């Protein structure tokens, strides 16, 4: 999460219009789902990953580290699709491979992989505030955007609070035994709930103090050569889709 965040704020394409990056990611997603075979979907995933690496300046190692949780999830899903549990086997319940499912699983997995690379392209090049601003221009409901803004900000506030509380508990042997660890974890959750409540009250007061009485609105950043970026994104995105359509 923090690595994603770091690259989003400090990558080569940070100052490129979010609309252009969003359009390219969307085209990437569309192309992946339009792909006629796992091989094409796989190629598209490779292209999207290569574009991301080139555009952001992220090393391949760090790219894989960022993608690892999602890749793990994808691998688990693929395994559950590929293997089935047989209860009536001669040696009792056992997992066995279902070869007939293989083409479908391969297709689903390569498409998901392509989708993941398209989303990673957006996440690694565009900070959350730019994405929220883009969604606002796309007329996303204000309530949803407010929730996104507040959640994003509070993730960092509360991760710090959790870290501090956990350290304080550990310093007083709160995690010395499994039993104590469980109790400490419960206390931490209870305390955090209370803090969330108090913090939400404070944020509400702070918003009112700065004359807020509706949606949370901010100054939207401006990007140089936004139209040119958008045209480039549209062209390259359309090429991806065309590639997916013509290849089999």
- Least Å distance, CB 197 to another protein, is 13
- Least Å distance, CB 54 to another protein, is 23
Which residue, among 147, 78, 131, 63, has the nearest Cα to 109 in the 3D structure? 78
- Least Å distance, CB 15 to another protein, is 9
In 140-238, the DSSP E strands lie at: none
- Least Å distance, CB 68 to another protein, is 23
Which of 40/58 has CB closer to another protein?
A: 58
The label of the residue with tokens 């913090």 reads: 199
Which of 88/213 has CB closer to another protein?
A: 213
Task: Give the CA distances from residue 30 to residues 22, 53, 133, in Å, rounded to whole numbers and listed in that order.
Answer: 12, 20, 22
Which of 82/133 has CB closer to another protein?
A: 133
What's the rounded Cα separation, in Å, for the pair 108 and 104? Answer: 6
Which of 76/140 has CB closer to another protein?
A: 140
**Residues in touch with another protein (CB under 8 A):** 5, 9, 127-129, 132, 149-150, 152-154, 156-157, 199, 202-203, 205-213, 216-219, 221
Count of alpha carbons within 13 angstroms of residue 74, beta-carbon side: 18
* Two tokens, residue 141: 């409901």
């Amino acid at each position: 999460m923090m690595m994603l965040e770091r690259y989003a704020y400090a990558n080569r394409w940070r100052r490129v219009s979010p609309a252009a990056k969003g359009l390219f990611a969307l085209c990437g997603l569309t192309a992946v789902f339009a792909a006629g075979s796992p091989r094409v979907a796989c190629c598209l995933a490779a292209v999207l990953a290569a574009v991301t690496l080139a555009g952001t300046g992220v090393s391949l190692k760090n790219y894989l580290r960022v993608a690892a949780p999602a890749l793990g999830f994808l691998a688990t899903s693929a395994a559950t699709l590929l293997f089935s549990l047989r209860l009536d086997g001669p040696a009792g319940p056992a997992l066995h491979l279902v070869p007939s499912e293989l083409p479908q699983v391969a297709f689903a997995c390569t498409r998901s992989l392509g989708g993941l690379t398209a989303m990673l392209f957006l996440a690694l090049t565009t900070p959350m505030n730019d994405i929220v601003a883009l969604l606002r221009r796309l007329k996303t409901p204000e309530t949803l955007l407010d929730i996104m803004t507040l959640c994003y900000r509070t993730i960092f506030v509360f991760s710090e609070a959790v870290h501090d509380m956990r350290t304080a508990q550990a310093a007083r042997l709160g995690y010395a035994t499994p039993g104590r660890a469980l109790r400490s974890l419960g206390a931490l959750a209870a305390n955090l709930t209370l803090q969330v409540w108090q913090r939400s009250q404070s944020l509400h007061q702070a918003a009112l103090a700065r004359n807020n009485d509706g949606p949370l609105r901010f100054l939207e950043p401006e990007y140089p050569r936004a139209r040119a970026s958008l045209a480039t994104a549209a062209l390259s995105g359309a090429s991806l889709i065309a590639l997916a359509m013509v290849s089999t």
